[in-house]
Every structure is written in structure tokens, then in C-alpha cells.
Structure 1
Amino acid sequence: MDCDVIVIGGGPAGLAFARGLASSSLAIVLVERQSLAALAEPADDGREIALTHRSADRLKRLGAWDHIDPTQVAPLSAARVLNGASPFALAFGPAEGCGGRLGQLVSNWRLRRALFAATEGQTSLNIRAGAGVTGLRRSDSGVEVELTDRTRLRARLLVAADSRFSETRARLGIAADICRLGKSMLVVPVEHQRPHDGVALEWFGHGQTIACLPLADPLRSSVVLTLPEDAIARLAMAEPALLAEELSRRSAARLGPLRPLSRPFVYPLATVWSRHFAAPRAALIGDAAVGMHPVTAHGFNLGLLGAATLATRVTAAARSNGDIGAATVLRGYETTHRLAAAPLFAATGAIVRLFTDDRPAARLARPALLRAASLAPVRAGVSRLLARH
């Protein structure tokens, strides 16, 4: 089967990229291991995504925002960062002209469903669901992919969007710095007594990190707890009453006693930085390019940005009758996206190293650094960094 673009991976980045090519008239084949039913109606995975205003605008341009129930969009009015037992909190509020919102939170499964729904009727897109990749070959003129059903696909450009542990990236010979952190993230929706007022809380306690993300209901939040893998595994198996007691204790009952509303979800933590975002006739987007630590809640936004950056360059090349897989197109994407991703990736790594280090020197340094970060020029710089994505 001949086409113009092969996309490996039907997650948010892959779907957003495919949808971003809708006006290009390019023939696209998207390959995804999951079934079509799982793509159309994803299961709830417990994760809540903090969307920036720019990401929401991108979703609107892609036609995905229309498929999200507005009553399930939780306004994010502010964020507060706390350290240990200190009463001081570093606060971030919305910038001028943002309608009183720092951003908004939407469930990951709802975003996936909306992006898939936006692709329905896209005549240039063929989704090969329930298929994996068994082989990949490249030449000067294109790339050939063999699927598990022995179908062979030929295209001018291959785009990998198949997770931070991307098999396609490995097949392309692109190295990546993968850091398995030895910690896991437990995520569970909870009910509480005090309203959250649309404020996200992130508390770096000694030996733990816990976040409370506001949901659409003012008395419901998503709790995200990070601990060593073995501790999270034990907690995930606890009876609901014991889990409720433990989460209430670990959150210092800031919102009152917490009552879990579902079973918890567990995600081992690892960060990924690919040495290159492009190779001859191929590009990486989403987590295949950069797998962010969730502490800044910015991985999804960065994935949308990368998909939009590549789609814009490929569409421009197609409209000028150029080679969409040319080195100049892919180098341009790689340079632009690395410049956008590198500062955020580095800053996130620095935050994680400092605020999860329980040695005495680090614990003494944290309060001073939080107060320094509260200065207006520093907060403005952080806001500008986040506003780019």
C-alpha cells in the first residue's frame, strides 16, 4: 500500500498530527496496536491533563474541543506549591487576558476520545487498528513498514508517536536517554469536604510528593501521590478505608478527609530525552521524542506542540509541491521543537532533583528557593516559559 505519511501510534500526539494534516491532501496511514473500538471509546486511565490556553486553542483548531463535554472541563484558577511543613506557598495565578484561568483540566481519556472523533470523516486518513510493526526499511526516496498482518506500507515520511519506550525509535537507530526513577505515581479521584476553589496544590513533603488537582465538581479532586515503587504497589492494594486514611494523612487533610471514588491507577515513572527528533525520512513526536516527568504537568502540552510544529512544516512542503520527507523539512522541525522542549525538560529535571532530595542540604535550600521563585520577575519568567507551549 502506497501513501504519503505513515504514523505509528494512535495516542494524542499521533492523532493530533494526523488531524493537523487534514488540509494538506496527503494520504496518511495511522498504525495502532489497539482496536478501533478502544480508540473510539478509550478506558478511563485516571489521569487528568492540565491544558494551557494555547493547547486548548490547538484542540479547537483541530476540531477536537467540540467533542468534549464543557461540564467536564475543570477551570484551573491558580496553583500553589508547598514544601514540607512550611506555611509558605509559592502561588501562580492567571495572566491578564486569560479570563481568570491559569488553564483547565480535562481527563486524558476524554481528550483521546475527542481527538479520535475529530478524525472521523477525514478522507485522506486510513487507520489500521489492531496492527503492530514487525519491520522497517528506509531508502533515499522513502520508507517501507511491514505490519503484523504482513501488509507492507510505503511512504515518503514516517512519524513515530508510539510512547516514550518507542520501538519505532529503536528501529530507526535513534538513541535516547531513559531515566527510570524507581518511583511510581498513584492516581485516584477523591471526594472531600472543603471546596477546592479551582486551585491545584502540589506539596513536596519529605519522602513524598502529592498533588490535588481540581475536578469539575468543587468537592472532587484527583490525587496524585509519588512514592518509591514498592510503597505505591502496597498502597494500591490497600482496602478502600485504609487508602482513604492514608491519602488523608499524606495530604494533611488540607481539603478535609479524602474518600477514593474508584480503584487507584499506578504509573511507574521514567523520563526520556531522544538524542534526535528526526532521522532520514522519519521524525519523532510526543513521548517518543520527549517523555516529561509529570511534576510540571506539561507533557501533554509539549506533545501537542510538537505535533503542530511538524504538521505545519509538512503541510507547507506539500503545498509547495516539495518533498515532505526532505532533510530540510525534518531538520527545521527538530531544531524548532528542541529549542522549545529543552528549557522545560531541564527545568523540570532540576525541580525533581531538588524537591525529591531529602538530604539535609537540599532540605535547607528548598524554602529559600521557593521564596526566591515568588519574586515577580521569576514568576513572570516561569509564566512566559509555560505560555510558549
Structure 2
Amino acid sequence: MNNDVIIVGGGPVGLCLARALSGHGMRITVIEQQATDALAAPAFDGREIALTQKSVRLLRDLDVWERIDADARSPMRAAKIFNGMSMHALEIGAGNARSGNHAELGWLVANHVIRRAAFESVQASIATHRDITLMAGETVSAVTANAESARVTLASGATLTAALVIAADSRFSPTRRMMGIAADLHDFGKTMLVCRMTHDQPHREAAWEWFGYGQTLALLPMNAHAESGAHQSSVVLTLSAHAMEAVAAMSETAFNAHLEQRFAGRLGAMQLASTRHCYPLVSVYANRFMATRFATVGDAAVGMHPVTAHGFNFGLASIETLCESVTHARRAGGDIGAAAVLRSYELRHQRATRPLFLATRFVTEIYTNGTLPARLAREVMLRAASRLAPFRNAVAASLMG
């Protein structure tokens, strides 16, 4: 066989997976449709990733965290949940997790910064171990597998074989579909607009999740704006696709005034500090995380609604769990693509992700329902939760990973 492992997808999860497998005596190939230049210097895409403390530990182990500049890491020390126009919020802090080791719930880092750091880590591992081949600018046209090996055919006509193929190519994974794995895909019928904005009032390093009437707002606290020193946050606005078209098309001046109004002036004057980016709001849960000599990781396995900020954290968790199963089999002299190895990964990752995935679906359905009974019920729920220390502790522990 040409390889031991083929990873389809060179995003942050695919690159981190390659780095995690490197140094264990395996030949690894990463196939990515983007060109090498785009991997080495990815463009800002608006997305800020909330990392749990567990995820930060994993990124340290993968030699990724230290490659991220300190000024590109923004601490998140609290999280607030608002309902409607009420000023009352359910507030969660690191202290609720009863952890004396961290003052922060987690950290916020831009997606493109993580991608660049992961690419640099892979390049360093290539130089040290010479066990990773990065095939950029290539597209997979077919994947097949049998008891002996898996075969990947590229659009260029080249064919590669391996003991194991892993899909890390997004929640809409073509590779997963090629292997006949269906997924529970839920389209919320909404579009999410993300951008950075400066504002007059401080965020006090607290993230907001604001379930309004007819809209959902999120505020992710960033470090101060580099040039002006102004308070800065990543702003997330979720609306129907039709309504978002008009907002996205606004001039910068009109957009600033519009967002100030949507935030009810709570942040004072707001100014756009980046480009704007829109994404459809879709969650995905694969029916299976494995097939013959095949596994899914990251969003190809579980594509979360962003309300709980666990998407990339689950991606890193899938890397940790799969690598444990694969490297254990390798050390024991076994077959890394054996069904028992992959089934062990599947069961563990399902147990780790399914409860929160379903809970997130429930929360988003309740908190985006605009009927009067739902509005009253969620206000009662938030106020009750504010008084329940065990609940707040559990939420904080989840946010910290």
C-alpha cells in the first residue's frame, strides 16, 4: 500500500489529525483541494473559535498553541445568556466550574489563525519525521474499500491505497457520502453573519448569547483593536436568509447604525472592524462515524450549531479519541483499519457528543420560538437556572471542556 493513513481535508482538523498521527511509524497523506499558498496563509473568514481549556491542552500537545501569537488569543472569562429585551442574564464564570487552575472559561482564536498554526506544525513535523505527504490542489473523485485496503481516486486520475481513510472535509463531506454514510442534517433556515466590530462599552471579557425576538445575537470578546485600542468583539447575527440579504448589502455606515440598534445600544457606538461573512446555519450528525477502513472526524462526524461553541472542540476530541485507538493498534502490531479499532472510536465519540448535540437542538428550538408561551417559558427557565448552582457549574464545566 502507498500509505497507512489517508486524510481527506486539510482544514484545521485534518492538519491537526496528521500532526497527531505523525511520529508513530505510519505513512500519512493529506489531500486538500486548496492550493498550498492558501494553506500557508489562509484568509480571514470571520469565524472566531471558542476553545475550551481541554482543547488548548490538546493544541499544546500538537505544537499548535505556541505558534499562535499571544495577542491573537482572547480570553473568555464569563458567558451571559439573555432572553428578549430583558436585562437579566444567566451568567456563567470560570469559578462555577470549581477549577482553581484557570481564570478563563476558554480562549477565542480566529479560525484562519488556527489553520495557519496547524499548517506550520505539520511542516515542522514533516521536517522531523518525514512521514506526512501533503497533496494540495487535489480533489477526491472516488473512495472504495474492502477487507484488505482502501482506495482513493483523485480527479487528476492518480490512485492511492491505504489501510485507513479518514474524512475531515466539512459537515457536507463528499467523502462521507462516497462511503454511503448518511447524516442527520438539520437546516435551521437561517443565515449567520459574522464580523469584528469595535464599540464604546466594554465587554469585560464576557461572551453574550442573546436570544431576541426574530433574531439571535452573539458577542465574542476579543482583545482591544490593535490600531485604535477600542473595545472589540466578534459579532454574530442570525436571521432568516431573506432578511440577511438586506443586512449584508448595507453600506458600512448603515450597517454600523443597524447593529447598534439590534444590540439596543447596550454597547454604545459600534464600528465595523473587518470584512463581513455569511454562512448558512446547518447542523449535521453522521449516522455512523465509520465504515470499512473508513472513519469520519471533525464536522464530517458532528457539525454543531454554534450556540454552544463546541464545534471545533468536538473536532479536536475526535482526533484525540481516534488517535488513541489507531496508535494503540499500531503499537500492538494490529491492523489500524480493522473494524474493531474503528468501532471503539465510534462508540466513544458518539457517547461524548450525542447528548450535547441533542440538547443543543432542543435549546435552539425553544429559544428561537417566537410564540408568547415560548417567550415566557424561556424567561422562567433562565431565571430558574440562575438560582441553580449545580446547573451553572455543569455549564461552566462543559464550556471549559
Q: Report how many residues are paired.
A: 388
Match of 2:13 in 1: 13
Cα deviation, residue 99, structure 1: 2.8
Q: Tell me the distance in 1 between the aligned counterparts of 2:307 and 2:209.
A: 9
Amino acid at match of 1:81: I
Deviations 1:210-255 (A, max 9, x none): 0111111160111100000111111111001110011000011211
1:209 and 2:221 equivalent? no
Counting only pairs closer than 5 Å after superposition, residues 65-76 of structure 1 correspond to structure 2 as: 65-76=65-76
- Provide structure 2 residue ranges, at least 5 long, that are not aligned to the other structure: 225-229
Match of 1:116 in 2: 119
Among residues 162, 166, 187, which one is paired with 1:180 in the alignment? 187
Counting only pairs closer than 5 Å after superposition, residues 243-254 of structure 1 correspond to structure 2 as: 243-254=255-266
Match of 2:282 in 1: 270
1:100 and 2:120 equivalent? no
2:46 touches 2:275 (CA, 8 Å); kept in 1? no
1:379 and 2:392 equivalent? yes
Deviations 1:161-204 (A, max 9, x none): 11000001101000111111110000111111122111111111
Match of 1:39 in 2: 39
Deviates more, 1:169-178 or 1:195-204: 195-204
Give the 3 Å change call, closer, same or farther, for CA 332–2 of structure 1 in structure 2. same
Among residues 221, 230, 238, which one is paired with 1:226 in the alignment? 238
1:152 and 2:159 equivalent? yes
Q: Tell me the distance in 1 between the aligned counterparts of 2:207 and 2:265.
A: 15
Match of 2:170 in 1: 163
Amino acid at match of 1:337: H
Deviates more, 1:16-25 or 1:325-334: 16-25
Among residues 290, 297, 314, which one is paired with 1:285 in the alignment? 297
Q: Tell me the distance in 2 between the aligned counterparts of 1:229 and 1:305.
A: 32
1:201 touches 1:213 (CA, 8 Å); kept in 2? yes
1:16 touches 1:308 (CA, 8 Å); kept in 2? no
Match of 2:227 in 1: none
- Provide structure 1 residue ranges, at least 5 long, that are not aligned to the other structure: none
- The root-mean-square deviation of aligned C-alpha atoms, in Å, is 1.1
Cα deviation, residue 69, structure 1: 0.3
Deviations 1:295-324 (A, max 9, x none): 111101011100111012111111111100
1:20 touches 1:312 (CA, 8 Å); kept in 2? no
Cα deviation, residue 346, structure 1: 1.0
2:92 touches 2:395 (CA, 8 Å); kept in 1? no
SS state at 1:252 partner: coil
Deviations 1:303-361 (A, max 9, x none): 11001110121111111111000111100000000000011101111110011000121
Q: Tell me the distance in 2 between the aligned counterparts of 1:12 and 1:365.
A: 39
Cα deviation, residue 263, structure 1: 2.6
Cα deviation, residue 386, structure 1: 3.9
Match of 2:252 in 1: 240
Q: Tell me the distance in 2 between the aligned counterparts of 1:75 and 1:248.
A: 24
1:142 touches 1:157 (CA, 8 Å); kept in 2? yes
1:77 touches 1:199 (CA, 8 Å); kept in 2? yes
1:160 touches 1:288 (CA, 8 Å); kept in 2? yes
Cα deviation, residue 382, structure 1: 2.2
1:202 touches 1:212 (CA, 8 Å); kept in 2? yes
Q: Tell me the distance in 1 between the aligned counterparts of 2:178 and 2:43.
A: 29
Match of 2:144 in 1: 137
SS state at 2:295 partner: strand
Amino acid at match of 1:381: A
Q: Tell me the distance in 2 between the aligned counterparts of 1:82 and 1:146.
A: 50
Q: Tell me the distance in 2 between the aligned counterparts of 1:97 and 1:173.
A: 46
TM-score under structure 2 length normalisation: 0.95
Deviates more, 1:273-282 or 1:257-266: 257-266
1:244 touches 1:259 (CA, 8 Å); kept in 2? yes
Give the 3 Å change call, closer, same or farther, for CA 363–89 of structure 1 in structure 2. same
Q: Tell me the distance in 2 between the aligned counterparts of 1:7 and 1:370.
A: 43
SS state at 1:120 partner: helix
SS state at 1:87 partner: coil
Cα deviation, residue 85, structure 1: 1.7
1:344 and 2:374 equivalent? no
Q: Tell me the distance in 1 between the aligned counterparts of 2:293 and 2:132.
A: 19
Deviates more, 1:332-341 or 1:377-386: 377-386
Q: Tell me the distance in 2 between the aligned counterparts of 1:385 and 1:73.
A: 20
Deviations 1:27-47 (A, max 9, x none): 001000000111111110011
2:164 touches 2:293 (CA, 8 Å); kept in 1? yes
SS state at 2:336 partner: coil
Cα deviation, residue 66, structure 1: 1.5
Amino acid at match of 2:92: F
Amino acid at match of 2:10: G
2:93 touches 2:396 (CA, 8 Å); kept in 1? no
Q: Tell me the distance in 2 between the aligned counterparts of 1:315 and 1:286.
A: 19
1:79 and 2:46 equivalent? no
